[in-house]
Structure 1
């Protein structure tokens, strides 16, 4: 049974103010009739920092790639296993301050972009290193891309990473009530999804570290859409080839609009959503649904900020002159949120 098949008479899903009510459903198979054509098990290298640089510098010739730091103030632990699914081991990288702190630090989990299909955690090592210099403990996990598994596998993986961070909070001297999820592009969408679906059984999975909660305490969404079905969005245009989201869902938007709506953070924003920072480029479709999302936050007196780099390209956070201001926005927001 596939509960995301909108033609199934067994599916009874009610949406009310962002809460998903599941009535009389047993989640057995998420794949069902979904197309597996995109599950090639071949790494998609179409999005990387060098490739983004070559495309972006045509319009912004003065940009510079932000390189990894060689800093004695940051210690790193790489290739740490956080979840095992069958024979597949998911790994993350940890960046933390060398200087010890008497108080538990804020944890920041960074999710890379790439259309849920490409990209790499390594693209955000410079950001993790910079934030670690400022006193944060940063975790940069991998997750299964659509070349390997369809939605909601990536959601399960990031939830597992969040739970792993909370499980190891004392060991890493981080505060279990100061866990931040930050993401860029597709990672930004997933970061917002983490913030709106914490501890929601439908999206938890049963793979790893299931004895702790997956809720997060703040969200940083860098140019990630809030809705796959919002009229201002651009996801799902398959006219010139299969779109990234269509590959991820295994259905086009026309074939299964309910699934596309279900995967949207905007469908779940509520009084339980944590404070959220939006950092955006000049490309409006990359933050589709943002104003509707913020409206709900405002109704519940939940703090949010928006910072837009006028004229900036989508991949702005990977390059100077936007990288340093991005870091400052993040640091300022988290200091306000946690009253550091």
Structure 2
């Protein structure tokens, strides 16, 4: 099994190396640059600026692809917000929130859930704003869904978005050597899968999953005829993510999706939170914790009473505060966005 897993990972790495970060029309002129999506008018909310078109508007100049427009989408005292493409598919887009003043800031990547087959970054806007308010550069991203492409396209998309932002970190006043992934439900699976990919990712300081189904094989088993309706739905969603192929027929695909199989010593520390009675049970994360601890990587699994899942669980009293404190401990505390550059203190040392 381990050999099959490593083989699948090697194939994924080779595929990743061929990815381009701009639509085909823009690659010849500006290879490797993220492309801003056109919008009718500037607005503080990034969800209004996204366009389904995978290419820039005809009026966009080649220089506009390399740097953001001069006019910010928010007030001078607030963050600048833009929607960029990191690939040619309509869902390969991301909203970047960044502060132009002060020191380069660590990055928080937010990954929405939705059974791998639905969901949208627009539902993560308030959570994105909360981390921007803490002073971080924040990336709220979409990715190809299971109806668009089978696994590992979703993991590849997250890594592509991360690579694009890190490559252009100066453009976003960001520190490419310090970032975390924060994923919800299916997005939590993607976040942990990226964290466990290979033997660590450059600059990745931590991974947080809220109700993450880190073990699709367990979800498949739990979703039998004896499982709850939600567990049966999750089983079907995992099958769809695997391209419609069952575990017995496509063991390599399912092994690639199974996060606990890929723990290695270079992986980042992780935090996951579940409800005690939700349909993605805490024992899935406990499996991942055991695998990570075996190779010396710390992981914290917290369980809250009740049945809340994903974003509703995040809104339970104390959960958001716990996650924010954990992220601050890994990235360091940055100056409040409203502080003047002269008054901005140095970023406090993060904790591993």
Specify the TM-score bucket, using the shorter chain as the normaliser. Answer: 0.5 to 0.7
Are 1:122 and 2:115 counterparts?
A: no
Task: Write the deviation string for residues 216-257 of structure 1: whole angstroms up to 9, x where unpaired.
Answer: 221011111221223896367799777111111121234323
Query: 5+ residue gaps in structure 2?
Result: 16-73, 332-348
1:332 alignment partner in structure 2: 325
Contact 1:230 1:288 in 2 (8 A): no
1:311 alignment partner in structure 2: 306
Determine the C-alpha separation between the residues in 2 that align with 1:270 and 1:141: 26
Aligned-pair CA distance for 1:276: 0.7
Are 1:244 and 2:237 counterparts?
A: yes
2:65 alignment partner in structure 1: none
1:256 alignment partner in structure 2: 250
Are 1:135 and 2:121 counterparts?
A: no
Determine the C-alpha separation between the residues in 2 that align with 1:216 and 1:222: 18
Q: How many residue pairs end up in the alignment?
A: 268
Q: Secondary structure at the match of 2:87?
A: strand
2:288 alignment partner in structure 1: 293
1:93 alignment partner in structure 2: 95
> Which protein has the bigger helix share?
2
Task: Write the deviation string for residues 11-44 of structure 1: whole angstroms up to 9, x where unpaired.
Answer: x9715xxx71469989999xxxxxxxxxxxxxxx
State which drifts further: 242-251 or 178-187.
Answer: 242-251
Contact 2:112 2:121 in 1 (8 A): yes
Determine the C-alpha separation between the residues in 1 that align with 2:125 and 2:189: 19
Query: 5+ residue gaps in structure 1?
Result: 1-11, 30-69, 201-212
Mark the CA change 1:236 to 1:148 in structure 2 (over 3 Å): closer, same or farther: farther
Mark the CA change 1:219 to 1:167 in structure 2 (over 3 Å): closer, same or farther: same
> 1:1-340 maps to which residues of 2 (within 5 A)?
14=3, 20-21=6-7, 74-84=78-88, 88=90, 90-97=92-99, 100-102=101-103, 104-198=104-198, 216-230=204-218, 234=222, 243-250=236-243, 251-282=245-276, 283=278, 285-315=280-310, 317-318=311-312, 321-322=315-316, 325-338=318-331, 339-340=349-350
Aligned-pair CA distance for 1:126: 0.6
Q: Secondary structure at the match of 1:295?
A: helix
Output the TM-score relative to the length of structure 1: 0.68
The root-mean-square deviation of aligned C-alpha atoms, in Å, is: 3.5
Contact 2:269 2:299 in 1 (8 A): yes
Contact 2:261 2:291 in 1 (8 A): no
Contact 1:226 1:288 in 2 (8 A): no
Contact 2:98 2:136 in 1 (8 A): yes
Contact 2:99 2:172 in 1 (8 A): no
> Which protein has the bigger strand share?
1
Mark the CA change 1:297 to 1:152 in structure 2 (over 3 Å): closer, same or farther: closer
State which drifts further: 294-303 or 167-176.
Answer: 294-303
Determine the C-alpha separation between the residues in 1 that align with 2:111 and 2:163: 15
Mark the CA change 1:175 to 1:26 in structure 2 (over 3 Å): closer, same or farther: closer
Aligned-pair CA distance for 1:337: 2.2
Contact 2:220 2:238 in 1 (8 A): no
Mark the CA change 1:164 to 1:243 in structure 2 (over 3 Å): closer, same or farther: same
Higher relative contact order (CA 8 A, sep 6+): 1
Determine the C-alpha separation between the residues in 1 that align with 2:129 and 2:11: 44
Aligned-pair CA distance for 1:109: 0.8
Aligned-pair CA distance for 1:84: 2.3
Aligned-pair CA distance for 1:261: 2.0
Determine the C-alpha separation between the residues in 2 that align with 1:23 and 1:148: 21
Aligned-pair CA distance for 1:335: 2.3
State which drifts further: 259-268 or 292-301.
Answer: 292-301
